[in-house]
Amino acid sequence: MPIDYDKIKNWPFPDIEQTYTEKDSILYALGVGYGHDPMDEAQLQFVYEQGLKAAPTMPVVLANPGFWVKDPATGIDWVKIVHGEQALRIHQTIPATGTVIGRMRVKAIVDKGKDKGALLIQERSIVDKASGALLATLEHTTFCRGDGGFGKGDAAPPPPPAPPEGKPDVSCDLPTLPQSALIYRLCADRNPLHADPAVAKAAGFPRPILHGLCSYGVAGHAILKTFCGYDPSKLTALSLRFSAPVFPGETIRTEMWNRGETILFRSRVLERDVVVLNNGVATINA
């Protein structure tokens, strides 16, 4: 049965309120790999309560409405969906503790055709409850492989820029831990695909895979380290396309091209030489 464009476009999302503590900020930072060098004081500021700062990519786990597409009323074949792209714009430096409100809307639904699926583009605003200030805006693109051909939809967004030809200007290698997914899932996404070997094998993987948004955080870490001197106020936007899964314990190399305030990048795992994140764009305050 085709999905109902009008119903999904006007889906009634409640506001989501979340209070997070120093422990939550530290747990997220540990999950995406900060603190892997315990003698690096620049990383320590994200994982130690003295002078604690929130990692700039932390909004991806704040005030999330959950797995709403699984609701039968959406008509979406949720078993076939894939997280395709993720974008984040940071309007103010994210506090290490606070209470935020998440406001969600469906920004666009793109019909790619009956046999080509659909794109579901969701936008979430993260607002500081006390001040009403907009902290961050997230855009989450889901590829609904089984839901094309519903006959009504929005225009497709422009494709993200491809990485330049030739060698990157700089690369940054960051490790993930064998238990990275087990740590990261405590921040938001408890899908057993990332923890249970039997579930992973049933899904066609030899072992549990890392959350896409965890590898997204690793790429953000690489940008922050390489171009921002670990100053979270300097990273203002980060977008990318997911291209392949990462297994916990693999090393992620982020390859970057410096274009001034814009950094183009992609990430690959060294152990398998596979590009796992592509079409990356970061914006920084130099």
Show the tokens assigned to 34: 């900060």
Q: Which of 119, 124, 138 is nearest to 81 (CA)?
A: 119
The burial of 258, by beta-carbon neighbours within 10 Å (0-12 exposed, 13-18 middle, 19 or more buried), is given as middle
- Between CA 140 and CA 236 the distance in angstroms is 17
- 211 belongs to the catalytic site: no
Q: Which of 189, 221, 280, 284 is labelled catalytic? A: 189
Q: Which of 3, 109, 121, 209 is labelled catalytic? A: 209
- 221 belongs to the catalytic site: no
- SS3 of residue 155 by DSSP: coil
Q: Which of 84, 148, 212, 280 is labelled catalytic? A: 212
Q: Number of helices (H) and strands (E) in the chain: give both, helices first.
A: 6, 10
Q: In DSSP terms, which residues pair with 195 in a beta bridge?
A: none
Residues whose CB is less than 8 angstroms from the CB of residue 153 and which lie 6 or more positions away in sequence, other chains included = 5, 108, 109, 110, 111, 118
Residues whose CB is less than 8 angstroms from the CB of residue 71 and which lie 6 or more positions away in sequence, other chains included = none
- Between CA 14 and CA 3 the distance in angstroms is 21
Q: Which of 140, 194, 211, 221 is labelled catalytic? A: 194
Pairing of strands 81-90, 235-242: antiparallel
CA atoms within 13 A on the CB side of 258: 10
- Catalytic positions are 189, 194, 209, 212
